[in-house]
Structure 1
């Protein structure tokens, strides 16, 4: 008998627990717990593609400064009045880390190398494009799979991650 979990539910739980334990060791994952708790409602309300696009829009690439630093530089140049997104929710480096991890965790689960993964083998940076071009059956399956995976991610985040001091 192998040590790997046998049911899809056990696989979800094992992967989610592993991801949360990695975060717990990081010590600074921002509002990850809060964002993980809210993401299922955003997926149900807005759809999987829009919810993941929102997560992806909230962090920068590794080679760019945090969004807060870029926004501060823009304000110093006096261009803030030209930016329609200038009034959106403030961002900081800790929040960007939380959004990045959450996108990577959910996206990684959907794109993992397993026969049951809706986007098996798709690179994480191509996930949003794949979501917008796939057939309806695949999208519905990915939607359901993301919600099922987030159920475990939320449970383990509540159990092992403390609430951020920045949370309302």
Structure 2
């Protein structure tokens, strides 16, 4: 008898599908698609903390795609790391969770690994659901 318990990969995929599906009808969908496609290399090049700071800076200057992506990452990764929804975790973003003085190098590595695993799903669904030159 097959187990009905959902795997972590299934949960990641489901969450990413919902988030990208929500973006499909937004005016910034093409920019979101381009941003999420570049994100893994950005994380590997500059690190997770710097990447999140970049997303927040751009979001603060009115960039909807940066804000949406930062929210998607924060909601999923903080929930996976704390076992609580973002709103219930005591943190307003993944960046603030990382910057907490009690975080260890292992915590940072785990956050980076989880973020990259989640971004892989976001990237695939963005490529599938959002046409490259959609207006």
User: What is the TM-score of this pair, normalised by structure 1?
Assistant: 0.67
Q: Which structure has the greater CA radius of gyration?
A: 1
Q: 2:30–2:131: 8 Å Cα contact kept in structure 1?
A: no
Structure with the higher fraction of residues in helix conformation: 2
Change (3 A) 1:119 1:42: farther
**1:78 maps to what in 2?**
none
Distance in 1 between residues matched to 2:91 and 2:134, nearest whole Å: 30
Change (3 A) 1:10 1:153: same
The equivalent position to 1:118 in structure 2, one of 81, 84, 108, is 81
**1:108 maps to what in 2?**
75
**1:6 maps to what in 2?**
6
Distance in 1 between residues matched to 2:54 and 2:5, nearest whole Å: 32
Distance in 2 between residues matched to 1:47 and 1:26, nearest whole Å: 28
**1:143 maps to what in 2?**
112
Distance in 1 between residues matched to 2:91 and 2:72, nearest whole Å: 10
Extract unaligned runs of 5+ from structure 1: 61-66, 68-92
Q: 1:31–1:164: 8 Å Cα contact kept in structure 2?
A: no
Change (3 A) 1:14 1:126: closer
Distance in 2 between residues matched to 1:138 and 1:154, nearest whole Å: 24
**Poorly superposed stretches of 4+, deviation over 6 Å:** none
Distance in 1 between residues matched to 2:75 and 2:49, nearest whole Å: 14
The number of equivalent residue pairs is 126
Distance in 2 between residues matched to 1:47 and 1:28, nearest whole Å: 25
**1:20 maps to what in 2?**
20
Matches within 5 A, 1:1-168: 6-60=6-60, 67=61, 96-112=63-79, 117-121=80-84, 122-123=89-90, 125-133=92-100, 134-164=103-133
Measured on the aligned residues, the alpha-carbon RMSD in Å equals: 2.2
